[in-house]
Amino acid sequence: MVVDGSKLVRKLIGDTLRRSVDDVEVVACGSIEEARAALDEAAVDLVTTSLVLPDGDGVALARSVRQAVGQAYVPVIVVSGDAQHHLEQRQFTEDVTDYFDKSLGHEALAAFVLGYVQPEPIPGARVLYVEDSRVVALATKRMLERHGVKVMHFVGVEEALEHLETHRGSGDPGADLVLTDVYLKGELSGMDLLQRLRGDFGYGKRRLPVLVMTGDDNRDNQSKLLVQGANDLVLKPIEERLLITKTLFQLRVARLPERDAVDAG
């Protein structure tokens, strides 16, 4: 289901999804009222919605999806040019599964949706993973490796920085993505690692994406991580499909040509 007040945007997203996702059926709706009527007719497998709708907003639409009779729990993705601001302010409710910044373009949105319905491995992708709990690390590492990701596990930030330092100035950061817990037993935290990567090393969000895992439900703390340069957050307890979708999507976006990443469609 694609929900957007603009008929043109609905067509653009729908056409892109039809080209990119095999056997997809797109249910296009222009408002929450239309979406509710469509949900009364049949269940859907995934919903994208703009943040602003003629009769409400994407958060209200997400709630309607959750309340629909006979509708299984499915991903609800808010697509908006203002998504980052809402994310940083922690204004999305638990009814919203994920968000997408539409400035990345419709082709990137198709890849994002594909990550939910048909996740595909990215050959040779390297994830630098920092986690001090060996039990959690083993489970998470297995999740990633099942999808073809090579995982380099470090128990502390200090060891991870040593690895990254050996690659500094080589043209290769030493990893394609960093996944780190925010709270670690060593002297340095996941926040410290994030700040070093964005500040000292000077790696931007596309050069070296960073996903931060946290069980902290404090909105201010979550917002600070995003403002400091985290590409996205993975909330604990970790759900495998969400972790894989976020990881593979960030890896795909990092490999997109610049013109595709900034094309708003």
Helix axes 106-117, 240-255, angle to 10 degrees: 150
Which of 17-31, 44-58, 214-228 has the weakest average pLDDT?
214-228
pLDDT in tens, 142-166: 999 998 999 999 999 999 999 999 9
Of the ranges 58-62, 87-91, 246-250, the best mean pLDDT one: 58-62
Q: What is the pLDDT of residue 90?
A: 61
Would you call 93 exposed, middle or buried from its count of C-beta atoms within 10 A (0-12, 13-18, 19+)? exposed
Is pLDDT at 91 greater than 70 in this prediction?
no
- The predicted pLDDT at position 193 comes to 97
Please, what is the average pLDDT of the chain? 87
Count of other CB atoms within 10 angstroms of residue 161 = 20
As its CATH architecture, domain 2-117 has: 3-Layer(aba) Sandwich (3.40)
Cβ–Cβ < 8 Å for 248, 108: no
Q: Are strands 47-50 and 2-3 parallel, antiparallel or unpaired?
A: parallel
Tell me the pLDDT band of 203, cut-offs 50, 70 and 90. Answer: very high
- Interatomic CA distance for residues 81 and 200, integer angstroms: 29
The confidence band for 137, taking pLDDT boundaries of 50, 70 and 90, is very high
Percent of the chain at pLDDT > 90 equals: 47
In this structure, CATH architecture of domain 126-262: 3-Layer(aba) Sandwich (3.40)
8 A C-beta contact, residue 129 and residue 152: yes
pLDDT at 89: 66
pLDDT > 50? residue 213: yes
Q: Is the pLDDT of residue 110 over 70?
A: yes
DSSP character string of 72-101: ----EEEEETTHHHHHHTT---TT--EEEE
126-262 shares the fold of 2-117: yes
The answer, as to whether pTM is greater than 0.85, is no
Distance CA 71, CA 73 (A): 7
Structure confidence at residue 20 (pLDDT)? 82
Q: What pLDDT does residue 125 have?
A: 94
pLDDT band at 265 (very low <50, low <70, confident <90, very high): very low
Interval 118-131 mean pLDDT: 89
**Section 74-85 average pLDDT:** 79
- Residue found by looking up tokens 């931007």 in the block: 204
Domain parsing of the chain, residue ranges: 2-117, 126-262
Q: What is the pLDDT of residues 218-227, one digit of tens each?
A: 778 888 888 8
What strand order describes the sheet that includes 98-101? 28-29, 2-3, 47-50, 76-80, 98-101
